[in-house]
Amino acid sequence: MSDVSVVGGGVIGLTVAHELAAEGHAVTVIAARDHRASVSSVAAAIWFPHDVAPTPRVLASGEASYRRFVQLAADPSTGVRLRHGTVVHRRPDPDLSWTSAVPGTAVAQTVPEGATGVRCLLPLAVTDAYLAWLQKQVQGLGVRFEARTVASLDDVAGDVVVVAAGLGSAALLGGDDELYPIRGQVVRLANPGLTDWWLDGDNPAGLTYVVPRDHDVVCGGTDDVGSWDESTHADVEAAVLARVTALVPELAGQPVLSRAAGLRPARTSVRLERVDGHARPVIACYGHGGAGFTLSWGEAADVVRLVQQSEPARRN
């Protein structure tokens, strides 16, 4: 078994660390910010391949993660919930490739005028509860944590290094012109008793989603390609609130509990591969856009396979 350093403490990094440690590897997670300050904490965290190219490998990864989340939802302490909702489509030829991973999808009977939709059951994660649970599980497997910034892979120990640092991954790997930020802003409202979610990515007024959790409703959002702005803006929030209340009138007048903005690490395609040119195995795992939770368990399984494939070469 290898000593593996995972650079990145968001949902991808923590899940990769979990699966490597479960296989018996000695794992260290290195991150300047823990999960509470990562973009993962901002996410609505509903299973859906948003802002990610739906390649066959990505769809397989999403399907594996869907199955794992369904298992986790049986234990309320994980923070994973299974909820029904509607994916709204406003184009004549919507991409339905994601439905292959989701059993029991059906044509939605209630959608905005002029739209179609899919009704289904999806997992979602109450982010603070889920990420805290995941970190506790990882620690229970003996994973070590180092809170520091990594400027170079030369500063990282271990037989194998996994780079899962989101937008920070490119600098550690000598650059990546295909990686870019997509800014997302959300506002969290008090939950008036909603359980059904709505995803309306084709809304002509802007990206719109409503994701009820235990005590709040995550309302979004924005898809600001190329923006590095992590601050929230009142005019953007007002526009989000107008869209979500038009879609779900019960949200009108609900108090704002919190607000946030984060940068999705998007890429022309997810990068999950061994990176050549290093004296030891270095594995890249980043570029998941708005689908970090959606792909996390499947991606972690693929990282484990790459690490195991690298071990004979390392020993030789």
Q: Tell me the pLDDT tens digit for each residue of 90-117.
A: 999 999 999 999 999 999 999 999 999 9
CA atoms of 282 and 264, how far apart (whole Å): 23
Task: Supply the pLDDT for residue 200.
Answer: 97
CATH number of 3-315: 3.30.9.10
- Region 137-151: mean pLDDT is 96
Q: Tell me the pLDDT tens digit for each residue of 201-259.
A: 999 999 999 999 999 999 999 999 999 999 999 999 999 999 999 999 999 999 999 99
Query: Binning pLDDT at 50, 70 and 90, where does residue 157 land?
Result: very high
Residue 294 near residue 63 (C-beta atoms within 8 A) = no
Examine the pLDDT at 316 and tell me if it is beyond 50.
no
Query: Binning pLDDT at 50, 70 and 90, where does residue 43 land?
Result: confident
Residue 264 near residue 12 (C-beta atoms within 8 A) = no
Of how many residues is the chain composed?
Answer: 316
For tokens 């070469």, name the residue.
313
Task: Supply the pLDDT for residue 35.
Answer: 65
- Reading phi first (left if > 0) and then psi (alpha if -120 to 50, else beta), residue 302 is in alpha
pTM: 0.94
Task: Supply the pLDDT for residue 113.
Answer: 93
